[in-house]
Structure 1
Amino acid sequence: MDSIVLLGTGCPSPSHERFGPSTLVTSGNQNILIDAGSGVTQRLSEHGLKPSAIDIILITHLHSDHIVDLYQLYISGWHSGRTKPFKLVGPRGIEKFFNKTMEAYDDELSLRIEWEKRPNKAGLEIEIIEINEEFTFDDQDIKIKSIEVQHQPVEPAYGYEFLVKNKKVTYSGDTKYSKNLENASKNAEYLIHEVFVDLNFDDKRMTQDTLKNVREYHSTPEDVGKLAQAANVKNLVLNHFVPPVFDEEGLRNEISKYYDGKIIVGSDLDVFNL
């Protein structure tokens, strides 16, 4: 069944309820993964999907919480029977990052290959596409287009637009208010959007500059609500919460001041059928 699955809705702060950011979009025979946050393979297992079933991994940007489990996806996908290349799409720099990761694991991987003698060597191949101006994918079941968003000084950063049997789904990635995202999300069935809820000041782990700078490159509840309203989206799914523990009803009420559509406070393993 065509669906969206929120595998991880958390942020860099650890949470046993909200794992690192990762979302699965499934249509027909295509399983597309967005980001590879901490715990993604466990959440895939809970959802009932082997890592070997993933066709493409789309990376939004190179912050650690979005890429930390890429190698785990690579090795566990091979272990679970992947017979096609590990396909990775992302911003400039993703190839360097993954090559360095593979270099760090080279001795370990070489030993596994030699000792375990698994039959599916094609599953060890790697295909990486760095987005230049725009990434597009066109399949009979799903169409994908990258959206450049605003997460400076982390750049480039991307969201993604999906068209699944004439239903549009947009995914924000990490961004402050993005006009590109607003335009891409016009009349979308689902907009999946990050939100900076709030941070309580703690001088043991932050400065006032920490609060200011973290807030500046994320979207506030007001930003999210106004964008969803301007784009006339049918369903707003909140995701990638900073921090991971917050007043859910309060957040919903705040956003409803600016957006009159359906607001869903996403949780790990939520499924939305298309």
Structure 2
Amino acid sequence: MDSLIFLGTGGGRFVTPTQLRATGGIVYKTGNHQIHIDPGPGALLRCKECKINPFDTDIIIVTHTHIDHSNDLNIMVEAVTKSTMEKRGTLITVNSVLEEKVLSEYHRKLLGKIAILKPGETLELEGLTIEATKCKHSHEEVIGIKFKTKDYTIYLTGDTKNYPGFEKNFEGADLVIANAALPASRELPYHMSTKDLIETLKLVKDKPGKVVITHFGHEMINLGPEVEAERIEKETGVKIEAAKDGMVLTLQHK
């Protein structure tokens, strides 16, 4: 059965170095694929703690260069390539990950394929379509991700502030993973707060089946993500869950 494993649910410059929440990213298992999304600090260790074999990973996705999304990229490439013994695996990312040397030249040569995706572009794999979506963030090159199978659609917002048309990404999704870093009482220009998420969900006509909030900053953690999840659900009527480190979500096939 397909599943999402939350190796970490923290993010930002306060939570990442203190590890109030882990920052290992998300592992998505579907069909013959094991996909590691945004392997931030501690990704490899969190794989071990969550009983995920990193040698089974065949795809890595890095949505942008910020350290809480990319820190463990190179060591994860070594796992994907069977301790550098096999040229294999696909990296899906943005161009700045290569330009800014987040991925070293050495590790770049180990991978079987590197796919640079811009918003609106897709990559077709066996039984899976991966689409990059637009983000509004402090770094120019940032993407969200949509996974589409014959049974369901998952939308990962990535690090973004809401923007005109943002709600269209939510339309008809079975599951949304929303990087809601901030509580409703806190606003920043390049991160989504729960207030932003509420405003967006109210604009969505075909509501998502479920929204999981994650990527919490320190203010969100101190307040309690579950409190904010309850607020969002009450105001929008959409089922909301606050992610926890190590949480596993199973995905139902139609």
Length-normalised TM-score, structure 1: 0.78
- Spell out the pairing of 1:101-250 with structure 2 (5 A cutoff): 102=104, 124-125=110-111, 127-132=113-118, 134-151=120-137, 153-198=138-183, 215-231=188-204, 232-243=207-218, 245-246=221-222, 247-250=224-227
Instruction: Give the aligned residue type for 2:246.
Output: L
Q: Is 2:88 the partner of 1:85?
A: yes
Instruction: Give the aligned residue type for 1:255.
Output: I
- The Cα offsets for residues 40-89 of structure 1, whole Å up to 9 and x where unpaired, read as 11222233332221121111111111111111212344455863424222
Structure 2: gaps spanning 5 or more residues: none
After superposition, the Cα gap between the structure-2 partners of 1:143 and 1:79, relative to the gap in structure 1 and judged at 3 Å, is: closer
Instruction: Give the aligned residue type for 1:83.
Output: E
- Following superposition, the deviation at residue 245 of structure 1 comes to 2.4
Instruction: Give the aligned residue type for 1:55.
Output: D
- Following superposition, the deviation at residue 267 of structure 1 comes to 0.8
Counterpart CA distance in 1 for 2:99 and 2:244 is 32
> What secondary structure does 2:39 align onto?
coil
More displaced 10-residue stretch of structure 1: 123-132 or 37-46? 123-132
- The Cα offsets for residues 75-133 of structure 1, whole Å up to 9 and x where unpaired, read as 344455863424222122111234x6535xx6xx9xxxxxxxxxxxxx93453222245
> What secondary structure does 1:57 align onto?
strand
Greater CA radius of gyration, 1 or 2? 1
After superposition, the Cα gap between the structure-2 partners of 1:129 and 1:137, relative to the gap in structure 1 and judged at 3 Å, is: closer
- Following superposition, the deviation at residue 195 of structure 1 comes to 1.2
- The Cα offsets for residues 14-33 of structure 1, whole Å up to 9 and x where unpaired, read as 45562115112211101122
On the 8 A contact 2:64/2:96 being kept in 1, the answer is no
Aligned to 2:73: 70
Structure 1: gaps spanning 5 or more residues: 110-122, 201-210
Instruction: Give the superposed CA RMSD.
Output: 2.7
Counterpart CA distance in 2 for 1:180 and 1:31 is 31
Instruction: Give the aligned residue type for 1:34.
Output: I
Q: Is 2:41 the partner of 1:38?
A: yes
On the 8 A contact 1:11/1:21 being kept in 2, the answer is no
On the 8 A contact 1:4/1:273 being kept in 2, the answer is yes
Aligned to 1:254: 231
Q: Percent of aligned pairs with the same residue?
A: 26
Instruction: Give the aligned residue type for 1:263.
Output: I
Aligned to 1:115: none
After superposition, the Cα gap between the structure-2 partners of 1:50 and 1:97, relative to the gap in structure 1 and judged at 3 Å, is: farther
Counterpart CA distance in 1 for 2:129 and 2:91 is 16
Q: Is 2:217 the partner of 1:271?
A: no
On the 8 A contact 1:147/1:180 being kept in 2, the answer is no
Length-normalised TM-score, structure 2: 0.83
